[in-house]
């Protein structure tokens, strides 16, 4: 891409370009191995330019995580607003979560998989944002319990258990790409059904 074309880009788009480039590189090379230089090269700007948009490298990571949480929370909130049968809502919520991970593997890995200890700053921010995200799942579970559909009445216990199930599948699918998984949709169906069947009152 030539200089002129680059100049023609929307100026306010640079921030997004940086985030996108960083996201890709953070996952492909790892956060530590991704240098500001490489990000700058990818978007064809000088290294110094990055610092006009972000305080430092870790802030880029923070923004990526925030953005991820926010987008996932939005998707889950939409399901919450749905008036369908609670158990169907829950099922759809689980699927939505998994699908989000598959659709945004880079986002997911950076935000949900990488151990927080690997990153210096912004941890609390991300945890709080993660909690907001988690609350959507929690509310759907609550509706199921209020409707007497579950075999356990502790909202948090169930919500956390479900989160564990779908996070496990999501993280394995996006990080262990070399593993010989059975056909993906079948596996997703199975995991979701196990969770639903496993909590249903009988």
Interface with a second copy (CB under 8 A), residue from 6, 33, 103, 147 = 33
Which entry of DNA, a second copy, none binds 149, CB below 5 to 8 A by partner kind? Answer: none
Which of residues 131, 146, 147, 201 is near a second copy by CB under 8 A? 131
Q: Which residue, 60 or 174, is less far from DNA as judged by CB?
A: 60
* DSSP labels, 128-182: HHHHHHHHHHHHHHHHHHHTT-BS---HHHHHHHHHHHHHHHHHHHHH-TTS-PS
Nearer to a second copy, 18 or 109 (CB): 109
Cβ atoms of 77 and 132 within 8 Å: the answer is no
48 binds, among a second copy, DNA, none (CB under 5 to 8 A by kind): DNA
Q: How far is the CB of 56 from DNA (least distance, A)?
A: 3
Q: In whole angstroms, how close is the CB of 69 to DNA at the nearest point?
A: 22
Comparison of 83 and 117: residue with beta carbon closer to a second copy: 117
Which x/- pattern over 16-45 shows residues binding DNA (rule: CB under 7 A)? -----------------xxxxxx-----xx
- Please provide the DSSP assignment of 49-94 as one string: HHHHH-SSHHHHHHHHHHHHHHHHHHHHHHHHH--S-HHHHHHHHH
The answer to whether residue 5 forms part of the interface with DNA (CB under 7 A) is no
Contacts of 10 (CB under 8 A, 6+ apart): none
Whether the Cβ atoms of residue 174 and residue 102 lie closer than 8 Å to each other: yes
User: Cβ(107)–Cβ(23) under 8 Å?
Assistant: yes
Local structure of residue 134 (DSSP, 8 states): H
CB 27 within 8 A of CB 105: yes
Longest C-alpha distance within the chain, in Å?
Answer: 67
Name the residues that contact a second copy, by CB under 8 A: 27-33, 109, 113-119, 123-124, 127, 130-131, 151-152, 154, 156-158, 160-169, 171-172, 175-176, 178-182, 186-187, 190-191, 193-199
Name the residues that contact DNA, by CB under 7 A: 3, 7, 10-11, 14, 33-38, 44-52, 56-58
């Amino acid at each position: 891409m030539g200089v002129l074309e680059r100049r023609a880009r929307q100026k306010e788009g640079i921030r997004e370009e940086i985030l996108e480039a960083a996201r890709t590189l953070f996952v492909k090379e790892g956060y530590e191995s991704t240098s500001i230089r490489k990000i700058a090269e990818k978007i064809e700007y000088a290294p110094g330019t990055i610092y006009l948009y972000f305080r430092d490298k870790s802030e880029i990571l923070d923004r990526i995580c925030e953005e991820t949480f926010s987008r996932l929370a939005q998707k889950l909130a939409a399901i919450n607003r749905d008036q369908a049968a609670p158990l169907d809502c829950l099922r759809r919520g689980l699927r939505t979560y998994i699908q989000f991970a598959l659709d945004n593997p880079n986002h997911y890995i950076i935000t949900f998989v990488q151990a927080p200890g690997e990153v210096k700053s912004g941890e609390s921010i991300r945890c709080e944002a993660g909690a907001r995200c988690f609350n959507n799942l929690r509310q759907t579970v609550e509706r199921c319990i209020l409707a007497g559909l579950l075999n356990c009445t502790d909202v948090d216990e169930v919500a956390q258990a479900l989160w564990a199930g779908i996070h496990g599948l999501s993280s394995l699918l996006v990080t262990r790409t070399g593993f010989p998984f059975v056909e993906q949709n079948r596996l997703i169906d199975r995991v979701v059904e196990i969770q639903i069947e496993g909590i249903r009152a009988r």
